[in-house]
Structure 1
């Protein structure tokens, strides 16, 4: 694959809805689509939006989060292109805590009068290849070691599958999101057949078919850099998961655990390898690289 500038750390999704000169218009369309049914929202002016995104906090070295203050609500968006992360409620809890620190006067916490704060809302847009429902709810309480009758702390994340073939209501109602979904599909199709020029060919196809045309014509080089960063990040995560599995297995042996527990570790490690291999296969990595990193056989990888 051709090499480009690696300084880009934001995803195309973040650029489209947070950074680009059209980002506020795009986000406003998305906000109206999300809340039209509940509150009949149809805002026309972006003056109501305040971008409050915290730089590089959701995913450390790679950012794919969008945050706005609008209509007395904090809207936090994140995008997943590989696997669904069940720890998103915890990540969102850490993220929104920092947002509140950022937008609130620290003295307000010690006031004798109740200080009102914006209502948080969390969304994850999923456009990977796993067969997941159109919508799914992730709850912080699901991660508690013990389940209380009534959770004293809860955070809810709405997971929305934005793959175009999932017939998502939000994708249909929000033109920028719908076009972005088509753009991601085009990138995947072209990368699958031509790793060297896949990004460029996908951009050309989208411009020809009036998909994000103005945006892609204006920022094609930047978009390619962002796409490379996204694909590099997905590969890094796959390798880190595999390394974590190997370390846990070795540590288990060093600590002299029983044969039964070690066998369990082997099976758990095997499952981690299969999941890692599946992710890497979805990202169209070579078969030789996948088998080398995971230790699985060629037949095992091909069977996934």
Structure 2
């Protein structure tokens, strides 16, 4: 409760009125009065403090009583409300579990239905990605086919280039070999022709010289036969060939050798030419067979 101001007694008011009405006689009287006033004021203040303390103690007692009553009421309400909350919580937990089970069963049924649709190929979520995958598979298959054809074409071109290179190398080597053998044989023929011409010249010269020598030898033989007689003792064979006979025999042998060598060269050149043509035909046939395969 609010503190009330202290109530002054009527006697004090009357004294104060009298004192205010009376004139001051001297300084001592005033001092005494002041002391009395100070004592009165201190008494009044102590009285007021006591009254305020009493009021406060009363208010505190009232508040404590009210708090005790309210605490008793609050405990009962709390217990009652706690029980209600527990019941509601159990109810809610039960409903939550039921809803959870129901939702689980529904989701399980939905998943089973969706799985059946996927297995049968009726699900839209499955058919659209499947169509995209099939489309990409077809595109990649076409690309792989084109790449395979290009690779095969490159391999064929390489094979043809290698065959053509081998064929050209064979032809060049054959032509070089043929030219080398031809030049060698032509050189031999040229030398043989020169030898033959030289032999013809020597044979003509020998024929001219032979006539002169024959005449001289005939004269010398006749004179020697008359002068000397050949003495032969023991088993000796004496060949009395003349120089002209030896030269004739030598020229005949050389001519035969030249003819034989010319025939041999002609035969050899014909064989080489025939062999080169046959080899070229065989290599071309093999190349054609490889290309056709």
TM-score tier by shorter-chain length is under 0.3
Larger RCO, structures 1/2 (Cα 8 Å, 6+ apart): 2
Greater fraction helix:
2
Greater fraction strand:
1
TM-score normalised by structure 2 residue count: 0.15
TM-score normalised by structure 1 residue count: 0.15
